[in-house]
Structure 1
Amino acid sequence: MDPRKPLDSLAIGVMLVLCLIWGLQQITLKATAVDFSPTLQLALRSGIGAVLVGLLMMARRERMNLSSGVWQPGVLAGSCFALEFLLVSEALHHTTAGHVVVFLYTAPVFAALGLHWKLPNERLALLQWLGIALALGGVAVAFLQGAQTGDSDLPRMLWGDFLALLGGIAWAATTVIIRVTPLSSLPATQTLLYQLVMGFVLLLPMAALIGHTTFNPTPLVWASLAFQAVIVSFASFLIWFALLRRYLASRLGVLSFLTPLFGVVLGAWLLDERIESGFVVGAGMALVGIVLVSGHGWIRTVLRRA
């Protein structure tokens, strides 16, 4: 019997806060991009987050598992993690933060396809295949909407949207690697530390290589770095893992898809980003499809009770 329990009011409240935080991270990166290159900011946030996780492990007397067969997938998962955020940082130079968060959150669709291929107990049900079709159709609608606007910045925006979608695929690859290797049995702190260390090690030289090293230390820049490193990379991820140990993952997964909605709304409110009607339709289709993929177990339970 699964010891994890259904959501209560505390879990729902915490998830709403987490979704708000995750939706805000792309907004802060975009808002400070002129004074603080997103690639450099993501590298530094990974480094600071890694130090904080390392200190927490020391306080718990938790040893890092560097044995053969563990560190190799750890490095690979961390490399995919770094690639995801490199793509996100580049996408933010070309498209809106709202678009980035929506396309990034297609990751569960690609992760479900990868796990269906690799793990027998992760075979997709009919409802999930329907969700995948709906999500991919929504992505197509969102792209086609952009292609029909006639905006002079259209090629640039479509390129940014495509990079964000690739970021979602890289995130999915990270998830699959963690699930199908010995990383799945590690404590959450160690899995997170592999990702943060590799994010720092790979993104920092990449920022120098592509010339994205702008750093103008304004109060907003310092606030953004503190938010990204302490709140997003350290606290929010550890709280998420703690919730996964106590509550049913399918219920939490459905709530997590409030994040793209928060991202779009916050982008319009704080950055004056335009919300196109066609994009809303496509994004809505994609999000419904993703909920069907990730929350099919919960949905089937609800339908049976009904």
Structure 2
Amino acid sequence: MTTRQHLDANATIIMLLLCVCWGLQQVAVKLATPVISASLQLGLRSGIAAMLVLALVWWKKIPFSLRDRHVLPGTLAGVLFALEFLCVSYGLTFTSASHMSVFLYTAPIFTVIGLHAVIPSERLDAKQWLGVVSAFGGITIAFSGALQQSPDAFHEILIGDGLGVLAALLWSATTLTIRFSSLAEAEPTTTLFYQLAGAAVILIGIVLWRGEQWTAWNQITWISMFFQSVIVAFASYLAWFWLMRRYLVSRLSVFSFLTPLFGVAAGVMLMHDTISPRFAIGAVMVLGGIVLVNVKKQTP
């Protein structure tokens, strides 16, 4: 198995840019929901990005095949990816973009726990386990913020936040599937195509089955879909898989705590989301936990 590196300057800059893009993602979806449902947005963006991947493969003559050892893990990754964004799409109908940003990006916590169980170089020390405890305590406190709402709002926020955590678990499962299968050594375009194609087929299939309709797109919708399809689903995911092939996954994840910060800031500024004190405290504990979990261990 190829040895992964610790982060260098290039990886650091790329991860910072990715965090900005991912932090804006939930807000972009929420902004377009008055015109087009979140499920259809995520399905269409996945389909568009999948076609862009195929165009890149053809242009760069990158090795690509759907009849090799990557089929089974690729299919599993695609299904998990689709289920993750199905949870995100339904979750955003119940909770705010700010909440979804924080809960979705608890995924690194679940990922490093899985890596700890299998790979010696990714084992957690006492400080990192403290981070895990802090993160899960923060999730509990953030959830309790819904208690300050009316009974109807409480149930809606609880459902939306719960779907955010479930999406994080599915994201983690996708990452571990890639890390522990032949996809770990596959071309990034191959891994990304499987995920995007799986999400497009499943999400658009659900939308068609439900008979969803959408009105004529406005300027905000076009901008949102371009950002989601080209910038996030194509360029940023391709960069992420490229990084995963070369650097330690748990070290890359240290920057993930910035993503919900960007997401919350964007939600407050663009969507006028309100942040309860309990949610704020819980979010700080989650972010602090992620930092502790991903802190570089000292070598003797």
Matched residue of 1:146: which SS?
A: helix
Tell me the amino acid that sits aligned with residue 272 of structure 1: H
Distance 2:175 2:81 in 1: 9
Q: Are positions 1:95 and 2:95 aligned together?
A: yes
1:245 to 1:66, Cα distance in 2 relative to 1, 3 A = closer
1:12 to 1:3, Cα distance in 2 relative to 1, 3 A = closer
Q: CA deviation at 1:176?
A: 1.1
Q: Which residue of 1 aligns with 2:80?
A: 80
Whether the 8 Å CA contact 1:136–1:286 is kept in 2: the answer is yes
Query: 1:100-135: per-residue Cα shift (whole Å, max 9, x none)?
Result: 011001111222233334445544333332221111
Q: Which residue of 1 aligns with 2:29?
A: 29
Describe how 1:119-134 pairs up with structure 2 within 5 A. 119=119, 121-134=121-134
1:256 to 1:25, Cα distance in 2 relative to 1, 3 A = same
Tell me the amino acid that sits aligned with residue 300 of structure 1: Q
Tell me the amino acid that sits aligned with residue 288 of structure 1: G
Distance 2:248 2:146 in 1: 37
Tell me the amino acid that sits aligned with residue 52 of structure 1: L
Distance 2:8 2:70 in 1: 33
Q: Which residue of 2 aligns with 1:271?
A: 271
Whether the 8 Å CA contact 1:27–1:266 is kept in 2: the answer is yes
Distance 2:7 2:17 in 1: 18
Ranges in structure 2 where 5+ consecutive residues have no aligned partner: none
Distance 2:210 2:114 in 1: 31
Distance 1:250 1:121 in 2: 10
Query: 1:138-194: per-residue Cα shift (whole Å, max 9, x none)?
Result: 101111122244464111011100011100011011011111111111011111111
1:211 to 1:149, Cα distance in 2 relative to 1, 3 A = same
Describe how 1:1-306 pairs up with structure 2 within 5 A. 4=5, 6-8=7-9, 11-67=11-67, 69-119=69-119, 121-150=121-150, 152-244=152-244, 250-293=250-293, 295-296=294-295, 298=296, 300=298
Tell me the amino acid that sits aligned with residue 161 of structure 1: D
Q: CA deviation at 1:266?
A: 0.7
Q: CA deviation at 1:290?
A: 1.6
Matched residue of 1:257: which SS?
A: helix
1:292 to 1:210, Cα distance in 2 relative to 1, 3 A = farther
1:247 to 1:116, Cα distance in 2 relative to 1, 3 A = closer
1:211 to 1:109, Cα distance in 2 relative to 1, 3 A = farther
Whether the 8 Å CA contact 1:118–1:180 is kept in 2: the answer is no
Distance 1:256 1:71 in 2: 29
Matched residue pairs, number?
Answer: 299
Q: RMSD across aligned C-alpha pairs, in angstroms? A: 2.3
Whether the 8 Å CA contact 2:122–2:250 is kept in 1: the answer is no
Matched residue of 2:63: which SS?
A: coil
Tell me the amino acid that sits aligned with residue 156 of structure 1: E
Distance 1:15 1:118 in 2: 25
Distance 2:7 2:107 in 1: 24
Distance 1:225 1:218 in 2: 11
TM-score norm. by structure 1 comes to 0.89
Distance 2:4 2:103 in 1: 33
TM-score norm. by structure 2 comes to 0.91
Q: CA deviation at 1:89?
A: 0.4
Query: 1:190-230: per-residue Cα shift (whole Å, max 9, x none)?
Result: 11111001111111011223444424311111111111100
Tell me the amino acid that sits aligned with residue 222 of structure 1: W
Q: CA deviation at 1:81?
A: 0.1
Q: CA deviation at 1:299?
A: 5.1
